[in-house]
Amino acid sequence: MAMNISYSYTLVLILLFFITLPSISGAGSGLGASFIFGDSLVDAGNNNYFQTLSKANSPPNGIDFKASGGNPTGRYTNGRTIGDLVGEFLGQPKYAVPFLAPNATGKAILNGVNYASGGGGIMNQTGRIFVNRLSMDIQIDYFNITRKQLDNLLGPSKAKDYLRKESIFSITVGSNDFLNNYLLPVLSIGTRISESPDAFINDLITHLRSQLTRLYALDARKFVVGNVGPIGCIPYQKTINQLSEDQCVDLANTLAVQYNGRLKILVKELNDKLPGSTFVLANVYALVMEVITNYRKYGFVTASKACCGNGGQYQGIIPCGPQSTLCTDRYKHVFWDPYHPSEAANLIVAKQLVDGDSRYITPMNLRQLRDL
């Protein structure tokens, strides 16, 4: 009888261990954690927590974001960002919490943390027109804090395994380094006189190489790095340059293509040089250009006019806010505001990144990266 009681007790302990294991480690059948770095394309609200001119915390931003009941959260779109959607598609139980949010503590960080910041860039001086923003260097400083918190939560060995095996590190950055640095004469006239496009892009790649290597040293192993989209086609650029609907700003797109070529080489270099790492390149430029060019095929009525904004032919001058003109068919606009895609466009991009082919993501898609 004593043997049976002892056996039953042991069996119960074993069952309890396996039942509670996912909640202890954060692991599950889907993605363990998503650590998101970048700019306003993926910012989930960090800019709400400091003084900056770059904010999306007023209506109608977030009007279609069900998790907040349609209230603004600091996301620069009407609903979910690409980072939110990728996490959902990969089985992440909750959205990565903004690092600066009060609830970014304890077990909440086991789902991942979002460090992205509207106006942020690879270079520290990028986005200074907004007064404050988090550059990539600062974002990685913040991840170093999270890294130590994970050690305390899981223990050093489990934390290392969790980061290396069950987490994806997403980097969406570079657009502001052109739009709000090199291409902004009021701030960068000295740089543009002293630096050719080649020299500036070389600086970007040098800094990004150092930043990605630093994340690797902090136990990041699975990376997805997005290239710069067709920034010459956003409503703001088309409005200020008085272009027709089928035109884009050549200089901005040429710089993006040039940078993207160097980024492709960098991703291959890091895959070869950093043992155990997997760097995946997301061809955001080709994917977004496909949607812009063939927008009717995807159910949109315009790929030029912002749904929420004011000023000019494409409502591309004044950012989205309470006084903005708001379209009634939000899911038929490629662009939500003068700079950012709508949730409908984000859905197309996210689906291709998760399950798409080598046209848009190489050497594997994000579902394959998760399961690696």
Active site residues: 40, 337, 340
Q: How far apart are CA 361 and CA 278, in angstroms?
A: 13
Q: 282 forms bridges with which residues in the sheet?
A: 226, 361
The answer to whether 322 touches 268, Cβ cutoff 8 Å, is no
Pick from 160, 296, 164, 284: which is nearest to 231 by CA? Answer: 284
